[in-house]
Chains A and B, each alone.
Chain A
């Protein structure tokens, strides 16, 4: 996101744009790989699916921050494409990669204890409450796109960075709550998570159609805003579909484990309920 903000406003001096863009995803990917290698040295495995998700997240972030995308971020469709990648797809892939679990397994004792404390802290519990996540996500979207804030973003690089960072982090909260690969204090059950997903997706759909209908002048020319709004609508659908699959895949694995345990118990006591 640093790269996005800098690139959106052009850096005449300083390091080349592609370098800034590549640095953050590369660093994140390298850190993750280091964790997996550390586990392997101990002889412990790490699911290859999670590693693939982490690498895909780094790749998507790199694409979203790459010059061809950021060069178009001043137009509304370009901005929406970047928004979809950075605040929705990358958080989903990151959540699937379970980086907190990896950190808890590989960190030395003291930082590990700090991380555990943070996870159990009151702020963490409040921030991950479903209602709070929904209000944060939809509230931020409304604040950015339906108030004059969007216009101000392009006037101040610092504000731009702050708001983008906030939206990426909010997207991460949503994905972490829904996906369920990492530990989370009092994570709600599958039905509540599905309701959260439907409410958020409906909010996105309403926002996209509202933008299509009102075409706020701050976002750009009316035609561009309409194209961007449709990209937001359909692109958002695709990623929310993936989120629904992620929620249900976790349910499938969890109920499958329970089912196998039940079947084992039945096999262990064949006489009890098979009196045919």
Chain B
């Protein structure tokens, strides 16, 4: 027999998207920090061209991104505890969040507020295009995953 249409399960589909977005934004921020700042040293800690608004926006996004990972993981654990996780929606939110962060970082931080550039001493155009495409692709895939059936994990396993 088909599982009963529990109204609470539908509500938690929204929460699955939300926790995915939080984790996605946080992971994108973390990758940005580890790969581009620490490992490649492409991004600079501070760029002389940074405006005050750029510094504040960068600080807020930085603080928000890793707080978001912690909150997202706790909410995901809570969804599992309630057996109400909708994996497809978690992925949808995660890809949307990571892609949106990447696009925002590329457009607002790198170009509009000039917090720092993708890389220094090179022709920036291909780097900026690659950056935006790497954000736009997961963003679109994430938005597509928002459509389609939203079955909780308990049913997927059944």
Contact = CB atoms under 8 A, between A and B. Distances in A.
| Size bin of chain A's contact surface | 20 to 34
Nearest to B115: A209
A201 B81 CA distance: 30
B56 A202 contact: yes
A248 to B, nearest CB: 4
B101 to A, nearest CB: 15
A206 interface: yes
A206 B56 contact: yes
Counting chain B residues whose Cβ lies within 8 A of the other chain, the interface size class is 20 to 34
A213 interface: yes
Contact of B67 (A212, A233, A244, A251): A244
A230 interface: yes
A248 B46 CA distance: 31
Contacts of A248: 70-71, 74
B62 interface: yes
Interface string A251-263: 1100110010000
A230 B37 CA distance: 12
A209 B74 contact: no
Contacts of A237: 62, 66
Chain B at the A interface: mostly helix, strand, loop or mixed? helix
Given A244-B71, A276-B4, A209 B64 contact: no
Contact of B60 (A198, A244, A251, A276): A198
A241 B46 contact: no
A210 interface: yes
A205 interface: yes
B102 to A, nearest CB: 20
A204 B1 CA distance: 56
Contacts of A241: 66, 70
Interface string B55-93: 110111011101100110010011001100000000000
Interface in A115-131: none
A203 interface: yes
Given A256-B81, A276-B4, A205 B58 contact: yes
Given A237-B66, A259-B82, A206 B74 contact: no
Contact of A252 (B4, B48, B56, B74): B74
B55 A252 contact: no
B29 to A, nearest CB: 11
A230 B33 CA distance: 13
Interface of A: 194, 197-206, 209-210, 212-213, 230, 233, 237, 240-241, 244-245, 248-249, 251-252, 255-256, 259, 276
